[in-house]
Homo-oligomer: A and B are copies of this chain.
Amino acid sequence: MPRTIGSHSDITGPRVRAAALKLFAEHGFAAVSMRRIASEVGVQAGALYNYTPDKQTLLFELMQTHMEELLAALPQQSDASVMDRLEGFVRFHIAFHHERPDAVFIAYMELRNLDPANFSRIEALRRRYETALEDILGAGSDQGIFDVADTKITTLAVIAMLTGVTTWFRPGGRLSLRAVQDQYWDMVRRMVVRAPDGSV
């Protein structure tokens, strides 16, 4: 049952966040005004402050939501082989980031616009994600299946490589998402798997 005319808290809130996500990704946090976000939603600027105490908090909550969804969606598969776990991570990272290009872009580009307390909280979430990959690489090294000189560096290298996909991949282009996943999995596999005896 509708409330008073002009009252839309349950739908305006999500629309504010969606508009902010889109505009921050497109133009950058600092370049987007609250008036511009309000205009995108179809309300006046003052109305936004029913949904966020300030612009900084709006940015932080977008980033926090993204990172928490990323961690929640990360496949656990702790009883699978390290090879399958690594393949699962690679395919997951590409697919998940592909579905949320705006949030990914903001999460990487707008860290410097977070105030120090918010920055620390986002960094902690990011570290948890990196650790998931580092654990796989460490386990594979312990088992002698992977040959990784430094799990920390390889973790960062793999994540940078995979995240780079979002800067150029567009559906309907030359390659399907599946084909991109296949190629990146092949590259990552070759980067970390121990070469058979006598092949080096």
Residues of A within 8 A of B (CB): 26-31, 109, 112-113, 149-150, 153-154, 156-161, 163-165, 167-168, 175, 180, 183-184, 186-187, 190-191, 195-196, 198-199
Contact = CB atoms under 8 A, between A and B. Distances in A.
Copies of this chain, tallied across the complex: 2
Q: Is the interface of A mostly helix, strand, loop or mixed?
A: helix
A109 B113 CA distance: 13
A143 to B, nearest CB: 18
A184 B184 CA distance: 17
Contacts of A180: 153
Nearest to A161: B161
B164 A160 contact: yes
A153 B182 CA distance: 12
A142 B13 CA distance: 56
A192 to B, nearest CB: 8
Contacts of A167: 156, 160
A112 B160 contact: no
Nearest to A196: B199
Contacts of A159: 164
A164 B156 contact: yes
A193 B190 CA distance: 9
A184 B183 CA distance: 19
